Amino acid sequence: MPAYAPARKGAGTRAREGAHDAAREACAAAAASSASDDARPHGRAYGPGMEWLALGVWLIVLVAALPLGAGAFAAPPLGLQPPLAIAGLVLAILFAIGGDAGLAWAAFGVGIAGTVTTGAGAAELIADEQDPSSRTAGRTAAFAGVALPMYATAAAVSLLAALEANGSL
């Protein structure tokens, strides 16, 4: 007789294996039901998140960009900031209430356009030929300093929302 003999499975071992099998089946069933619960009515299969974050960021961009319209006389590219912010917010709202990924991609494009035009307007405001005693130019430059990173953030969050909606993320 060998020195080591495998032990026979007793009733206790079989009961534990049966319990493990039942637990695995229960976990698989729970995972399947939660995946179907996450399905959105407009076809996106993920929970709320990026589209609402994009909406909030675009709202903050709008608040920061509205005063930049006053600086359009000193730096013409800043005249585009309020319309771009409104367009980005509208696109984010439409995407959040059930639009397709194309709206998020459009909001991303608007965010890039806002970043570029804010940078161009800020460059004109801080150019050497500007009158340094102008209060309007200084105030507008301060708002441009706030709006520029906000536009970049809105573009990044819109990009993430679009990628998530496409299933690439």
Interior/surface letters 3-35, b for 16+ CB within 10 angstroms, e for the rest: eeeeeeeeeeeeeeeeeeeeeeeeeeeeeeeee
Q: Are 153 and 54 in contact (CB under 8 A)?
A: no
* Cβ–Cβ under 8 Å, residues 114 and 65: yes
In a domain, 112, yes or no: yes
The DSSP letter of residue 70 is G
Question: How confident is the model at residue 39, as a pLDDT?
Answer: 42
CA 153, 112, 51, 49 torsion-angle sign: negative
Print the domain residue range for 67: 50-166
Considering only CA atoms, which of 58, 59, 51, 56 is closest in space to residue 100?
Answer: 51
Say what the pLDDT of residue 87 is.
96
Task: Tell me if 82 is assigned to some domain.
Answer: yes
- Comparing 26-35, 92-101, 130-139, 147-156, the range with the smallest average pLDDT is 26-35
In a domain, 120, yes or no: yes
Q: Is residue 129 part of a domain?
A: yes
CB 159 within 8 A of CB 108: yes
Helix residue ranges per DSSP H, the chain: 11-37, 50-65, 81-96, 101-125, 135-166
| Model pLDDT for residues 52-75, shown as the tens digit of each residue | 899 999 999 999 999 888 878 888
Q: Is residue 95 part of a domain?
A: yes
Note if the pTM is more than 0.75. Answer: no
- Max CA pair span of the chain: 103
In a domain, 39, yes or no: no
* Domains identified in the chain, total number: 1
Q: Establish if 116 belongs to a structural domain.
A: yes
